[in-house]
Amino acid sequence: MVFMNGDNTLEPDGIIDFKEMAKVAENPQINVVVQFDRIPGFTAEYGDWTQTLRFHMRQNLVPTKENALEDIGEANMGDGAVLRDFVRWGKKKFPAEHYMLVIWDHGQGWRLMLEQALAKQKSGHAKPAPFPTTYRSVSHDETNNDQLYNSEIQDALAEEKVDVIGYDACLMSMVETAYAMRKAATVLIGSEELEPGTGWQYEDWLGKLCARPTMTPQELGRLLVESYERTYADRDEKRTLSAIDLTKIDTLARATTPFSDELIGKCATELEQIKTARSECATYAPNDNRFFHVDFARFCERINANSHDQELCRLAKAARDTVSQCVIANYAGRERRGNFGSNGLAIYFPESKTRYANDELEEGGYQKNNTFYPVAFVKEQHWADFLHTYWDKVP
């Protein structure tokens, strides 16, 4: 089930990916359904329709109104209820032994990713468009000025669990996202870094799935990471993709909280070592100063390298080891190794209180008392407590 939100600057890329799917030879054991929303102004291909259509994919299918299975009018693809209804419809219309949900659009783990849109606007390939200032979300619907927060997806899938949830979107492979999705799916696929507009190569991985439809969710996750590497390894060394075993995320959380508690307790005596460890972690989307995601395993490793406190190092290693247990497969291009780490899961970590306070898209998500689409990992684990303790000492 592909939840394809082209109601924004990515509309032309949505058509490219739709056509990639249509190149795949059909297999009666696999149904591919697409809910595709479009917008005026970015491409006039295939009739320039602007509503939301549902398609049952067939080889050589083109995305016209006449080929749609259903026309549901202008749907708000930033509404959790619309996502839930699509998944519910897909399961009822095409019952299966296994389900995969792909959320396709701009994404940012926490924030709205403007880089692709701004690049197109500057090149004259797209009209300027208003963007909401928001974060911890994905699937940005410009017509309805709305987007999906992680908590909305979490709620939408509470009674509609899938085997695999894939984010064909930027910056979604985060501890926070995986924790939110741990009861919604078995496997999560996403990138720690930005994705190019066309994202995944659907003809490649979907073709291989159709050729062997008995894959397990874990095998499908590994296949997608391998496909992404084949697609970008020789032409874009900044890309990352990972497949995460969500059944082990609670184990990661149980290791993260005592590590956070120890960091809080040692923030006075080990402050310089903690600061150094953070400085040795490169931030994803490095050309955009609004993003503060670092590789979590990399930070744990740098604590071990810089600190001489045995208990802190033990807990850092334990947390780092649980990341390895969660990662089914991981790809990182050459430029996203080294100080980036890119071991599979990023985490939010502004390097100072000023950076956090001046976070232009801040909505209180890393405040324990936040009630606006609260982040489960922030409220239930202690990483946020460590960050606020750290920021108080690193203004």
User: Average of pLDDT values for 38-46?
Assistant: 92
**Could you tell me what percent of the chain has a pLDDT over 70?**
90
CA 252 – CA 381 distance, rounded (Å): 11
Q: Is the pLDDT of residue 78 over 90?
A: no
Distances (CA, A) of 225 to 9, 184, 209, 329: 25, 21, 13, 6
Q: Is the pLDDT of residue 144 over 70?
A: yes
pLDDT in tens, 190-219: 999 998 877 999 999 999 999 999 999 999
- Mapped onto helix, strand or coil, the DSSP state of residue 6 is coil
Q: Is the pLDDT of residue 147 over 80?
A: no
Q: Give the pLDDT confidence score for residue 273 in this predicted structure.
A: 98
Q: Is the pLDDT of residue 176 over 70?
A: yes
User: Average of pLDDT values for 177-199?
Assistant: 93
Closest CA to 285 of 336, 246, 321, 326: 336
Q: Give the pLDDT confidence score for residue 207 in this predicted structure.
A: 96
Q: Give the pLDDT confidence score for residue 140 in this predicted structure.
A: 62
User: Which pTM does this prediction carry?
Assistant: 0.91
Q: Any idea which of 7-21, 25-39, 50-64, 82-96 has the lowest mean pLDDT?
A: 7-21
The CA-based angle 296-299-300, given to 5 degrees, is 90
Q: How far is CA 157 from the centre of its chain?
A: 16
pLDDT in tens, 336-385: 999 999 999 999 999 999 999 988 766 788 999 988 888 899 999 999 99
pLDDT in tens, 273-315: 999 999 999 999 998 887 899 999 999 999 999 999 999 999 9
Closest CA to 173 of 40, 369, 348: 348
* H helix intervals, 295-381: 296-306, 310-326, 353-357, 376-380
Q: Provide the CB-side half-sphere exposure for 298 (13 A, CA).
A: 26
DSSP per residue, 137-150 = EEEEETTTTEEEEH
Q: Is the pLDDT of residue 113 over 80?
A: no
Kindly list the domain boundaries of the chain, sorted by start residue: 2-247, 249-393
Tokens 């695999």 sit at which residue? 164
